[in-house]
Amino acid sequence: MNEPTPVLTLEGVHTYIGQYHILHGVELTVPRGQVTMLLGRNGAGKTTTLRTIMGLWPARTGRITFAGQPIGGAGTALSTPEIARRGIAYVPENMGIFGDLSVKENLLLAARSARRVDDIDTARLEWIFSLFPALRKFWLYPAGKLSGGQKQMLSVARAIVEPRELLLIDEPSKGLAPAIVQNLIGALRELKQTQTTVLLVEQNFAMAKALGDTVAVMDDGRVVHRGSMAELVEDAALQQRLLGLSLAAHG
């Protein structure tokens, strides 16, 4: 296999939240231009891993390297804004919507280079509207009043309103209607065409199957399996062991 160069690597990352030891030496590589799925049960540490990459929790030991340069870990902790400015966009688990601001303002903030909405690339905005029509409809609405799924759309839209090298997305499909999940899958595929790398946490195995190139499975703060998605899809026993998943239920 011709291994693409990794965009992001985590080596021996240990993260503590307060006095709790949450990540116990996470090892992870995210190849450029691919979708890497991060799977695992509730509480395995997926969200913590993404937050550690973003610098929202400090990695106490280990190394996090992005595009060849260290961004986190012992000794080289960049601040979150600096990490984001290197080209990483993040869709958090709780969506991180600015409820007091309108949909428009939420997107405007996400488009860092734009001073006003007119500065945002119109074609890209249209593309987002085609993926998530609700956003056009509720353009001037306070985002806090959106429905759960609409908030999720807005959160994803914010991450893709400008091109970024790496997307970290935490469970984007939760609360989305099937049709919108389809749109999302389509959108991520399109982004892959433009050499955008994606690290995706997902419980929806159908979506993982549809998108994933490589996969990492976490358990108890460690990455316990790394491989290609295809391999995991083939191997029902592996699924059962890693995810407690029986294919029967998911046909």
Partner 1 sequence: MNTVTSPLPAAEVALAKVRLDWIPLLLVAALMAVALPLVGSVPTWLTLTVAGLAMGMIIFVIASGLTLVFGLMDVLNFGHGVFIALGAFVATTVLAGMADWTGSASLAANLIAIFAAMGVAMAVTGAIGYAFERVLVRPVYGQHLKQILITMGGMIIGEEMIKVIWGPEQTPLPLPEALRGALLWGDAAVEKYRVLAVAIGSAVLLAMLYLLNRTKIGLLIRAGVQDLEMVESLGYRVRRLFVGVFVAGSALAGLGGVMWGLYQQMVTPQMGAQINVLLFIVIIIGGLGSSFGCLVGALLVGLMANYTGFLAPKVALFSNIGLMVAILLWRPNGLYPVAAR
Partner 2 sequence: MLQTEGLTVRFGGHVAVDGVSCTFAPGTLTAIVGPNGAGKTTYFNLISGQIRATAGRVRLNGQDLTGLGAAERTRAGLGRAFQLTQLFPRLTVLENVRLAVQARAGEGLNLWQIWSDRRELLGRAREIVAAVALADKQDVPAAALPHGDQRKLEVAILMALEPQVFMFDEPTAGMSVDDVPVVLNLIRALKADKTKTILLVEHKMDVVRELADRIIVLHNGQLVADGEPETVIASPVVQRAYLGQDVEAEA
Partner 3 sequence: MLHRLLSHDLPRSRWLALALVLIVLALLVVPFALPGSKSLNVAAKILIFVVLVASYDLLLGYTGIVSFAHTMFFGIGAYGVAIASTRMGEGWAALGTGVALALVLSLLLSLAIGLFSLRVRAIFYAMVTLAVASAFQTLASQLSEFTGGEDGLTFRLPELLSPSFEPFEEEVLGVLIDGRLITYYGLLVLAVALVLLMLRIVNSPFGRVLQAIRENDFRAEAIGYRTVVYRTLGNVLAALFATLAGAMLAIWLRYNGPDTSLSFEIMLDVLLIVVIGGMGTVYGAVVGSVLFVLAQNYLQDLMRLAAGGVEGVPVLSQLISPDRWLLWLGVLFVVCVYRFPNGIVGWLRERADRSPLRPETSA
- Residue ranges in contact with Mg ion by CB under 5 A: 47, 93, 147-148
Binding residues among 43-102 for partner 3 as defined by CB under 8 A? 94
Q: State the helix-helix crossing angle for 148-160 and 178-193, rounded to 10 degrees.
A: 10
Q: Is 249 exposed, middle or buried (0-12, 13-18, 19+ CB in 10 A)?
A: exposed
- Kindly tell me which residue out of 1, 2, 3, 18 binds partner 3, with binding defined by CB under 8 A: 18
Question: What sign does the CA torsion over 131, 54, 231, 223 have?
Answer: negative
| Least CB distance to partner 3 at residue 18 (A) | 5
Q: Which is nearer to ligand ATP, 124 or 203 (CB)?
A: 203
Q: Could you tell me how far CA 77 lies from the centroid of its own chain?
A: 21
Binding residues among 97-156 for ligand ATP as defined by CB under 6 A? 138, 145-150
The listed partner (Mg ion, partner 3, partner 2, none) that binds 205, CB under 5 to 8 Å by sort, is partner 2
Q: Given strand 6-17, what is the order of strands in its sheet?
A: 20-31, 6-17, 59-66, 69-73
What x-and-dash track marks residues 198-217 binding partner 2 by CB under 8 A? -----x-xx---x-------
Beta strands 59-66 and 166-170, pairing class? unpaired
8 Å CB contact between 197 and 38: no
Binding site for ligand ATP (CB under 6 A): 17, 20, 22, 40, 42-48, 93, 138, 145-150, 175
Binding site for partner 2 (CB under 8 A): 20, 40-44, 47, 93, 134, 138, 145-150, 152-153, 171, 174-183, 203, 205-206, 210, 243-245, 249-251
